Each structure stands twice: as structure tokens, then as C-alpha cells.
Amino acid sequence: MEVALLGAALVIAAAIIAVAFIFRRGTAVEEAGSVDRLQEVIAKLQTDLAARMETQAQSHAATSKALNERIDQFSTRVNQSLTEQTTKTHENLAKLQERLAVIDSAQKNITELSGQVVGLQDVLANKQARGAFGEIQLEDIVRDALPPKAYAFQATLSNGRRADCLVHMPNEQGALVIDAKFPLEGYRALQAAKTGEETVAAQRLFVQSVKKHMNDIAGRYIIDGETSNSALMFLPSEAVYGEIHANFDALVQESMGKRVYIVSPNTLMATLLTVRAVLRDVEMREQAHLIQAEVGKMVEDVGRLNDRVSNLTKHFGQAEKDIREITTSADKIVRRAGAITEVQLEEPESQSALPDSKQA
């Protein structure tokens, strides 16, 4: 609208300038046709002004319409974008809350696990608690591998020593003793060693600890005539067991010489499963004579059954013979009855024609 007013003002200013120019020409105003020309000029200017104003109005209307359409489209896009962003923001916040909840739960689990680890460290730091830990693990493995009558826990031997576990072996071989040991201090020192001197000292401490346990088991739990001629030293740690067999072969050979065999949770389970197979085989052999006796009785029963079947067959044969004879007699009786009926129907003179009974 301001552009149209500016154009009209320019046209009016041009008309004023033209009129002033005409009046300034002096006598030219007095000419007869000057007024008419001036009116024509003014009329033309008014027509041009009206046309320009109409053009400007149309242009302004079109511009306003296009601008409004663009503003509407822009508003629609902005609203749509804001809606999508709001939805995504809510979804992201929901996912973030879920993740935070998972993280919070994981943090709680980590805190609890840390407490359990600290508690386990406290347990392993105490020798008595560490021994109880090894005994519990030993009992769990034995219960899983053997039947209840094949073992006993905390059994007292004739020398007054109490074994962690006794496994009753077959054929009067004596009970197999399993004792739990956990040389943790030497192992930890060995793992913490950084220099060569520390490593040598830790190895010496570890070997001394294992040897002490080995000698204790050999001296306390291998008794002639009462226990088996060997025993098992149970280490409730695969790491300690692996360290001994990987880097201390002399200890392994010495343990075999003392008939004290070192086992871990995995190797103890395998050993006990072998023992269970042996116990099952021995039990089956012990029951073999009972099975043989029952089989003999069953053979006798089969023989008697055979005799009775033979007798029954004979009875069936005799019964069949009797049935055939009965059938023959019945047929004769039927024929005689027919003959008697025929005789009754004939004349008295023909009675002499009766068949002789002896011939029947």
C-alpha cells in the first residue's frame, strides 16, 4: 500500500511540475488551446495514476496472498516439526529413564557384588574360615558325585584324627580319605611378586606350605589296615591347582611318592565319578549270585511248566479221542432212532424186516 501511495505522489508531483512549467512560459498561457492541453495532460495523468494504483493494488494483493500462503506453510511446517521434536524428545526421555533404571540396578548389583567380594576376601583371610570354605565345597562335590551310603563327613579315625571326608571303597580296600587344604598366602605372595628376589621368596613360601599340607595328610590319614594306601588333597581353587602343575612339577612328583594326590574341584569330580562306576560294578558283581539263583529257579519253573503243558496236551488228546467216540455213538443213536421211526410207519407184516441189533 505504501508503494502505491508513493507512485501516486510521484505522478502528482510530475503534474504540478508540468503546470508550473507551463505557467512560467509567459504568454503561452494566453494561447487559446493551452487550457485544453493542460486538462488533457491532467486527465492523462489521472488515468495513468489510476492504472498504476490499480496495478499496484493487484500486485500488493498477490504479494499479500503469496506471503500469507508462505506464512501458513511455514507455520504448518514449524508446528509439525515441533510436534515431531516433542514426540522424539519424550521417547528419548523415556528411553533415558529406562537406561538410568538399568544403570541404577546394575550399580546396586555391583555394590552388592563388591560387598560379597569383600566378604569373601575376609573369609579367605581367616584360616579357619578358609578351611570351612574348602570343606563346604568338598561336601557339595561329594554329594553330587556319590550315593549317600558311599561316604562320610568328619569321620574320626583310630588315631583320633578327623578326616574331612571318607569314601568307602569296595573289596576291603579301606576308606579313601579326602582332606581340604588351601595354601592361599603363598599363592598370593607368588602372584604379587614383582622382582626376582620377591618371586624366589614367594616360591619358597608356596612350596613350604604345600609340602606341610602334603606331609600332614600322609602322616594322619594313611593308616595300614584301616584306610586306603593313598589319600587326596583337595584344593578348592583351580588357579592354585594350575599353578602347582604348571610351575612346580617337583611338588607333583613328591606328592605321588607320598601317595597324596592333589586334586581340584574339576579333577575331584572326575575321580569320584570313576569311583562311583567302580562301586556300581562291584555291587552288580555282589548281586550276581542272587541273579544266578533266581535264574536257576526260573529254569526249574520253566521245566515244570513244560511238563504240565505236556500233560495238558495228553489230556487234550484223550479228550479229543473221547469226543470222537462220543460223536460216533451219537451218530449211531441217531441212525437207530431213524430206523425205529421208519418201522412204526410201515405195515405190521414188515416188522420182520427190522434190522438185527447185533448188526448195528
Residue 68's pLDDT band (cuts 50, 70, 90): confident
Residue 120's pLDDT band (cuts 50, 70, 90): very low
Average pLDDT over residues 307-315: 82
The percentage of the chain sitting over the pLDDT mark of 90, rounded to a whole number, equals 7
Q: Is the pLDDT of residue 63 over 80?
A: yes
Pick 144 or 332 by higher pLDDT: 144
Q: Which of 69-83, 307-321, 333-347 has the lowest mean pLDDT?
A: 333-347
- The answer for residues whose C-beta is within 8 angstroms of residue 233's C-beta and 6 or more apart is 179, 181, 213, 214, 217, 255, 260, 261, 262, 263
Percentages helix, strand, coil for the chain (3-state, rounded to 5) are 80, 10, 15
151 vs 171: CA distance, rounded Å: 15
Three-state secondary-structure class, residue 359: coil
State if pTM tops 0.85. no
Residue 103's pLDDT band (cuts 50, 70, 90): confident
Q: Which of 8-12, 47-51, 212-216 has the lowest mean pLDDT?
A: 8-12
Among 37-41, 113-117, 204-208, 281-285, top mean pLDDT goes to: 204-208
Average pLDDT over residues 43-69: 80
Q: Which of 90-94, 118-122, 127-131 has the lowest mean pLDDT?
A: 118-122
CATH topology of domain 135-290: Trna Endonuclease; Chain: A, domain 1 (3.40.1350)
Question: Residue 350's pLDDT is what?
Answer: 47
Phi, psi of 337 (to 5 degrees): -65, -40
Cell of 268: 575331584
Q: How many CB atoms lie within 10 A of CB 179?
A: 23
Question: Residue 253's pLDDT is what?
Answer: 92
218 vs 312: CA distance, rounded Å: 72
Question: Residue 309's pLDDT is what?
Answer: 83
255 vs 248: CA distance, rounded Å: 11
Average pLDDT over residues 38-66: 78
Average pLDDT over residues 103-112: 75
CA 203 to chain centre: 42
Pick 263 or 320 by higher pLDDT: 263
Q: Domain ranges in the chain? A: 135-290
Average pLDDT over residues 205-220: 90
Q: Which of 115-124, 205-214, 316-325 has the lowest mean pLDDT?
A: 115-124
Pick 346 or 159 by higher pLDDT: 159
Question: Residue 93's pLDDT is what?
Answer: 84
In this predicted model, what pLDDT tens digit does every residue of 222-278 receive, in sequence order? 888 888 888 999 988 888 888 888 888 898 899 999 999 999 999 999 998 988 888
Per-residue b or e along 196-207, where b marks 16 or more CB atoms closer than 10 Å to that residue's CB: eeeeeebbebbb
Q: Give the chain's radius of gyration (CA, Å).
A: 62
CA 347 to chain centre: 108
In this predicted model, what pLDDT tens digit does every residue of 122-146 receive, in sequence order? 444 455 555 577 888 888 999 998 9
Nearest to 157 by CA among 212, 267, 231: 231
Both ends of the chain: CA-CA distance in Å? 155
213 vs 240: CA distance, rounded Å: 14
In this predicted model, what pLDDT tens digit does every residue of 2-22 receive, in sequence order? 555 555 556 566 656 655 555
Q: Is the pLDDT of residue 280 over 80?
A: yes
- The answer for residues whose C-beta is within 8 angstroms of residue 48's C-beta and 6 or more apart is 11
Q: Which residue has the cell 588333597?
A: 233
Among 262-266, 287-291, 312-316, top mean pLDDT goes to: 262-266
